[in-house]
Structure formats: structure tokens, C-alpha cells
């Protein structure tokens, strides 16, 4: 299987794990990203995710295919929550199964890294102090305002929130 999903409803990794089962696979690796209560020195109270769904699915599936081709894993699944999330909720789930553990670890890492940087999904953090901000956007806007001659490169967007 090879599937990228967006989910407006809460879901659990356990409910999805069986989709990766395969007698030819000796290794299964999954990653869960949870809503954390702090980010970059700010106390976070809640998150919102928003996606450009058609392109998010398309780009997400491209990433899964790349992972299968690069690492030879047999199955890959990624589900991303959208909408309003509370602290501790599951935000993103990645799971792969493969003949051996090494390709499964590497593919899982590849998928979550690429999803964070390429899939059109945006995250708004709500802070305990009442502020809120779009991750990777507010700071870029401020940086450009401060130094208008400097074009932000795509690499500079590879900062920010790590689970």
C-alpha cells in the first residue's frame, strides 16, 4: 500500500498499523508527531492546520513513491490532521514496512522530513499569552521587511517546529 491522507477527525496510529502488515516484511517503523506545549520559547496552547488538499495529496503521494523507490520499502502510509488540535493530539502519522529495519527507519525519516518541507500544509500556533502566528510565515515576513533586498530562499524555510 502507498497512501497519503488528510484527516479532519482525530485518529490513532494503532488503528492504522494493520494496514502495513505483510508476511514479506520483517521491519515496521512508525513516527507520530504530537502537539507540543511549547515552541521556540513560546508556550503553545493549541494548533491549527490548514491544507491545500488536492495538491497536498498529490505531493504527499509523490513523497511516498520516492521513499519506496529510494529505500525499497514495501508499504508506506502518511496521515496528516487538519483543523483545530489540542495539546497532545496526534498531528501526523508516518508508517512504513519493509523486509529489513534499516530501509524502514531511513524511509520513515525521509517521509516526515519531506512532508514537512514540501506538502502545502500550514500550521498556526496559538500561544498561552493570547498571540498566534503562522509557523515559518510571520518570521519570514519580518525578515523580508527588515532586509528587503534579501530574497528568502527555499532553504530558509527549512527551519521551525520540530516534534
Partner 1 sequence: MSAPLQGLVLAGGHSRRMARDKAGLEYAGRSQLARAMALLAPLVPKSFVSVRSDQLVDPERARYPCIADLQPDLGPISGIHAALHADPDCAWLVLACDLPFLDSATLQHLIAERAPEKIATAFLSDFDGKPEPVCAIYEPAARAAVDAWIASGQRCPRALLGQSEVKLLQARSGGTLANINTSEEYLQARAQLAPPRATAAARRVRVQYFAILREQAGRAEEALETSAQTALELYEELRVRHGLKLAPEQLRVAINEEFGEWSQPLASGDTIVFLPPVAGG
Q: Which three cell numbers stand for residue 61?
A: 503521494
CA gap 12, 91 in Å, rounded: 10
* Residue range at the interface with partner 1 (CB under 8 A); choices 13-21, 65-73, 102-110, 155-163: 155-163
Distance of closest approach, residue 149 Cβ to partner 1, in angstroms:
11
* Residue range at the interface with partner 1 (CB under 8 A); choices 17-25, 68-76, 99-107, 139-147: 139-147
Residue 29 in contact with residue 105, Cβ under 8 Å?
yes
Instruction: Provide long-range contacts, Cβ within 8 A and 24+ apart, for 35-42.
Output: 35/85, 35/86, 35/87, 35/88, 35/89, 35/91, 36/87, 36/163, 37/87, 39/125, 39/135, 39/161, 40/160, 40/161, 42/125, 42/127, 42/128, 42/129, 42/131
Q: Is 39 in the site for partner 1 (CB under 8 A)?
A: no
Q: Is 109 in the site for partner 1 (CB under 8 A)?
A: no
Q: Based on CB atoms, which residue is closest to partner 1, 28 or 49?
A: 49
Q: Based on CB atoms, which residue is closest to partner 1, 71 or 93?
A: 93
Q: Is 161 in the site for partner 1 (CB under 8 A)?
A: yes
Q: Which residues of the shown chain bind partner 1 in the complex (CB under 8 A)?
A: 33, 49-52, 54-55, 58-59, 80, 91-92, 112, 115-124, 134-138, 140-141, 144-145, 148, 151-153, 157, 160-161, 163
Amino acid at each position: 500500500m502507498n497512501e497519503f491522507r488528510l484527516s479532519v477527525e482525530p485518529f490513532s496510529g494503532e488503528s492504522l498499523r494493520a494496514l502495513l502488515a505483510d508476511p514479506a516484511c520483517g521491519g515496521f517503523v512508525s513516527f507520530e508527531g504530537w502537539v507540543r506545549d511549547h515552541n521556540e520559547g513560546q508556550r503553545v496552547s493549541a494548533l491549527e492546520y490548514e491544507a491545500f488538499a488536492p495538491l497536498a495529496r498529490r505531493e504527499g503521494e509523490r513523497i511516498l513513491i520516492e521513499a519506496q523507490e529510494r529505500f525499497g520499502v514495501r508499504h508506506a502510509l502518511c496521515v496528516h490532521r487538519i483543523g483545530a488540535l489540542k495539546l497532545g493530539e496526534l498531528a501526523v502519522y508516518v508508517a512504513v514496512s519493509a523486509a529489513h529495519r534499516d530501509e524502514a527507519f531511513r524511509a520513515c525519516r525521509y517521509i516526515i522530513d519531506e512532508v514537512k518541507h514540501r506538502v502545502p500544509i500550514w500550521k498556526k500556533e496559538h500561544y498561552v499569552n493570547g498571540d498566534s502566528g503562522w509557523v515559518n510565515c510571520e518570521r519570514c515576513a519580518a525578515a523580508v521587511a527588515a532586509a528587503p533586498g534579501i530574497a528568502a530562499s527555499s532553504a530558509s524555510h527549512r527551519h521551525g517546529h520540530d516534534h
